[in-house]
Amino acid sequence: MQDRYNPRGAWTFFQRETRRFLRVKMQTIVAPALTAVMYLIVFRYAMGERHVPGLNVPYFEFLIPGLIMMAMLQNAFANTSSSLIASKVMNVHVFLLMAPLSSAEVVFAALAAATVRALIVAVVLLLVLFPFADIHVVHLWMILLYGICGSIIMGGIGMLSGMWAQRFDDMATISNFIILPLTFLSGVFYSVHQLPVFWQTINQFNPFFYLIDGFRYGFLGTGDSDPAKAAFVVCLATLLVVFCCWYAWRLGWKMKV
């Protein structure tokens, strides 16, 4: 909440948020990777050698990037949201408000830690799948752009959710009735061109769709959306979420009650 800058303090806060999830890595890293692998196994045998309609891509290759991105988004959200709501429930969040850190430093450190967790989950998942799947990288810059921006966006949404929520039930409501549906309806398991026209139109306003489709484009070189449009939407959403986090923390929104 301070206006002066304290880089060492920001680094310390980043280390604290990073070590927090590394202490329980079986829950925060291994479990999400195992869940994604189970999805792949189930869909691999359910769909067989089918190709995705309209994209001429084997379904198994189509599914891998979507599941990786979904795991990244969910873990970035969980990192910031769980940290804040746990602090509020234990009534120790006041110590963070009193810390000699500017709003920008708090937001930067929290989102950086969320991004690190998401990237670690993605790397672990890729290492697990590499011996069993034919993984291509067509545009590495797109994979990094959408992976990092997606982690920042979801980390920011998790931070705002954690500031708003007063109980774990509030957080579960956001996760189960907003985050999860938007993620599943964004084209993780199917091409959006397979949906009725109405739902295709709805998906045009779903930022998760552009995140997953752009990330998948980096691996496969094909997707459901225009890459330029997707990049614009994602970069704009990233800037908007970061600004909202900075402004909300500067005001102490829902943190002083």
Please report the sign of the dihedral spanned by the C-alpha atoms of residue 61, residue 66, residue 68, residue 69. Answer: positive
Task: Return the residue matching tokens 């993605």.
Answer: 122
57: its two tokens? 């891509």
37-77 pLDDT, tens digit each:
888 888 777 777 788 877 778 888 888 899 899 999 999 99
What's the pLDDT band for 16 if we cut at 50, 70, 90? very high
Q: Provide the residue ranges of all domains of the chain, joining segments of one domain with +.
A: 7-251
pLDDT of residue 85: 92
- What pTM does this model have? 0.91
**Lowest-pLDDT range of 8-22, 93-107, 152-166:** 93-107
CA distance 167 to 157: 17
* pLDDT, average across residues 142-167: 95
Mean pLDDT of 64-91: 91
pLDDT at 218 over 50: yes
Rounded (5°) CA angle 70-76-81: 125
3-state secondary structure of 8: helix
Q: Report whether pLDDT(215) > 90.
A: yes
